[in-house]
Amino acid sequence: MLVLSLPSFPSFPPSLTFNPMAEVIPIGSDHAGFQLKERLVEELRALGYEPLDLGTHSSDSTDYPDYAHRVASKVEHHDASRGVLLCGTGLGMSYTANRHPGVRAALAWSPEIAKLAREHGDSNILILPARFVSEEEGVEILKTWLDAGFAGGRHSRRVEKIEQEPR
Ligand code: RB5
């Protein structure tokens, strides 16, 4: 009897496999958002995205603008189409990220707001207030935001006006 033996390839655990089609999502937080960021990095990977963790990497006190600028620069310069930021209230990340041209960073504390931030505002950065949402709420907000799309129509005109010079 002829027995064919197939070549065997090493099998890697899912977390080590490389998917060249995966969307890169830059993500960053200060110390207040560190724990939730770690969870969201895992969730992004499990959902098939490629998280690009731009820090912080511990719960030691640090300055939120450093991370907001890193993530917002990636979106501003089209190295990524979307990103995620976290700090205690979400406000510091919002002040900083929204100074970058073309960035629409939306602070969302519920899935409904996250959905509308994509549908009406075409937000390209999600900001989470880590001290005001549970881990599970944070995951749900992230998933909702990732899956929602821009509705266009009348909202396109409004979004275009955002980049106008202030008068
Ligand atoms: C840090 O204590 C806190 O100020 C920061 O995470 C953020 O809430 C600022 O907007």
Q: pLDDT of 94-105, one tens digit each?
A: 999 999 999 999
136: domain range?
Answer: 24-162
**Distance separating alpha carbons of residues 71 and 96, to the nearest angstrom:** 10
pTM of whole model > 0.85?
yes
Position 3 scores a pLDDT of: 54
Average pLDDT over residues 50-75: 98
| Nearest alpha carbon, ligand 1 atom 7 | 88
The number of domains in the chain is 1
In a domain, 138, yes or no: yes
Q: What is the number of the ligand 1 atom nearest to the C-alpha of 92?
A: 10
Helix (H), strand (E) at residue 137: helix 135-147
Residue nearest to atom 3 of ligand 1 (CA): 88
Cα 154 to ligand 1 centroid, rounded to whole Å: 35
What is the model's pLDDT at position 19? Answer: 74
Is 14 part of any domain? no
pLDDT at 7 over 60: no
Higher-confidence residue of 19 and 144: namely 144
CATH number at residue 131: 3.40.1400.10
Q: Is 105 part of any domain?
A: yes
Question: Could you list the active site residues?
Answer: 87, 120
Residue-level pLDDT at 12: 47
Residue 17, pLDDT score: 58
Mean per-residue pLDDT, 146-157: 97
> Is position 99 within any domain?
yes
Cβ distance 129 to 109 under 8 Å? yes
Distance in Å, CA 32 to ligand 1 centroid:
7
Regarding beta strands 125-129 and 105-107, do their DSSP bridges make them parallel or antiparallel, or are they unpaired? parallel
Kindly report the average pLDDT of the chain as a whole number. 92
Does residue 9 lie in a domain region? no
